Structure 1
């Protein structure tokens, strides 16, 4: 079955200011009518080089309770490495189509994994599609990696992603430690509640080509992330929006910052104290937007539920304990949890 890629649709000269109807969102979803224009949402910015660990704990905890999203600066990952990560990802999407299709997510992958080059991810509501192509592959731990889904070109792709992953693990461990302490728990409580050293790092590259009708389309529809936390590098093209106080706002970008999303698994572990962020992405008329989210996920068979120390008579569990693979299946297929 020939899959239609958004990048190919966007390159067609016959679009002439239109897009196929399946990419046009309903009026109550269209960015033109649902975005608060001219206002950039200043989500919390946290300096990870701050000398007072208690201040970091309180800042990250507050941002995760109130916002579900924050940005970190002075995180220790060199700007040059982030630039190189962006470069090799962009080069992959500029390859000939047949070369990208060689690592496509297998068709008829019912209930299977998400790894590979692709376009559709979740069950599409009313047949509506997102204006985005993507690449997924696991980067950590080594036992979870399938190099078939890693691009062979450009040649430096693998080395760059491995270097970035190693530096990111240090940042992630710090963040999970601060999140644990913010709930009055031991530093390793969150990580252990997600599978400990088996915590899986899933890289995704989103590629949003220029769209003739950006006011009518969405890149990724409104959602919360299934992960524990998501650590995201954007390019310079505006696109991330967050739902706050019943409205959609563009998120202000900060060069070389990492954007941190609280995901569903942290909300579950914290028994609702931390909130997963409801967000979506818009597209641009003239420029290609790209982003590199890294999803930190429990192993498929690992059971995640509220941390026992946070449960008592006043705070009964608000979420079921279930295997991550079962949570994933329900979420991707829009089934109740």
Structure 2
């Protein structure tokens, strides 16, 4: 059965004021009704160029406990590399549909990699207003270049360079998150898979939508990863659930948005919070984002770190292979 891509729906069949019913969210999820418009605090912004490293660690730990998300500026990834990464992503999605389909996720494949339009099961049978491209970018042993576009020609080189740069940022994040829990610097990274942690690049593509008040690019969820490091484009859309409100993330050019994921919440025995978030879409503009998900290898078992467990703080989560955790999460099964 041929899958209809959202980008193709937009270009072929939409009238001015209508979207197919399978994209219309229930009222309690519709952004026009549920987005908070009062005075709100901004998602924490952390400057990695601060000479006071203890201050950086304190800010990261506080943001991870209170928010589960923060933005990072002066992180060291060259701005022109981020711009090039964004450019080649746009160029891929501007290719003719049949050329993009060459990289489609194979039907009934167990991999999540490839070009596609749906991840997981929606309890309401609703669809997200988005297409995507998924592929691993690190370590070399888990890369499948079958899913890396050959057009634009620079796609591979740019992603390889970005993988090296984002790894430097991730190592700092793991170290400082670990110290923020009162642990040795390497404990959190080792607990999530160490040097075997898999870096999964996703390009989210949210086309213009005639009724952005009724649908979502991605419905509310927490990331099943250990951590997610995301580059947005200039079109707002990321929303975070905080203090019972859906609030908009402010766009900061060149910043990275760091999400604490489920595996760090588990490792920290709940001290750090996996952030509940969703994505809205725009009436006139295409929104895109480039998250890199940091995931343990499938057979790797993640559980609450023993250093953070005692009689007063028993383990809140069952140790589980990451592949089993992922399967349950994507199929809406109890953990």
CA distance in structure 1 between the aligned counterparts of 2:223 and 2:161, rounded to whole angstroms: 25
Distance 1:212 1:244 in 2: 28
Q: How does 1:15-54 map to 2 (within 5 A)?
A: 15-37=15-37, 41-54=41-54
User: Whole-Å Cα distance in 2 between the matches of residues 204 and 313 of structure 1?
Assistant: 40
1:291 matched residue in structure 2 = 289
| Corresponding residue for residue 222 of structure 1 | 220
Residues in 1 aligned to 2:3 and 2:248: alpha-carbon distance in whole angstroms: 31
What are the equivalent positions in structure 2 for 1:203-242 lying under 5 Å apart? Answer: 203-242=201-240
Q: Is residue 231–residue 258 contact of structure 1 (8 Å, CA) maintained in 2?
A: yes
Q: Post-superposition shift, 1:13?
A: 4.8
How many residues are paired up? 335
Q: 1:137 to 1:40 in 2, by over 3 A?
A: farther
2:246 corresponds to? 248
User: Conserved in 2, the CA contact under 8 Å of 1:198 and 1:298?
Assistant: yes
Q: For residues 63-115 of structure 1, what are the alpha-carbon distances to aligned partners after superposition, in whole Å with 9 as ceiling and x for unaligned?
A: 00000000000000111000000000000000111111111001123xx1200
Q: State TM-score, norm by structure 2.
A: 0.98
Alpha-carbon distance between aligned partners in 2 of 1:53 and 1:16, rounded to the nearest angstrom: 52
Runs (4+) of structure 1 exceeding 2 A deviation are: 12-16, 37-41
For 2:266, the equivalent position in structure 1 comes to 268
Q: Which residue of 1 aligns with 2:120?
A: 122
Q: Give the secondary-structure state (helix, strand or coil) at the position aligned to 2:326.
A: helix
C-alpha change, 1:41 and 1:253, in structure 2 (3 Å) is farther
Instruction: Tell me, yes or no, if structure 1 residue 76 matches structure 2 residue 76.
Output: yes
1:126-152 deviation line (CA, Å, top 9, x unaligned): 210000000000000000100000011
User: Is the 1:41–1:250 contact (alpha carbons within 8 Å) kept by the matching residues of 2?
Assistant: no
**How far, CA to CA, are the matches of 1:40 and 1:132 in structure 2?**
27
State the TM-score, normalizing by the size of structure 1: 0.98
Tell whether 2:137 aligns with 1:139. yes
In 2, Cα distance between the equivalents of 1:175 and 1:108? Answer: 36
Do the aligned partners of residues 252 and 305 (structure 1) sit closer, same or farther apart at CA in structure 2, a change above 3 Å counting? same
Contact 1:40 1:250 in 2 (8 A): no
Tell me the equivalent position of 1:89: 89
Partner Cα distance (1:148, 1:44) in 2 = 38
Where does structure 2 lack aligned partners over 5 or more consecutive residues? Answer: none
1:306–1:11: structure 2 CA closer, same or farther, 3 Å change rule? Answer: same
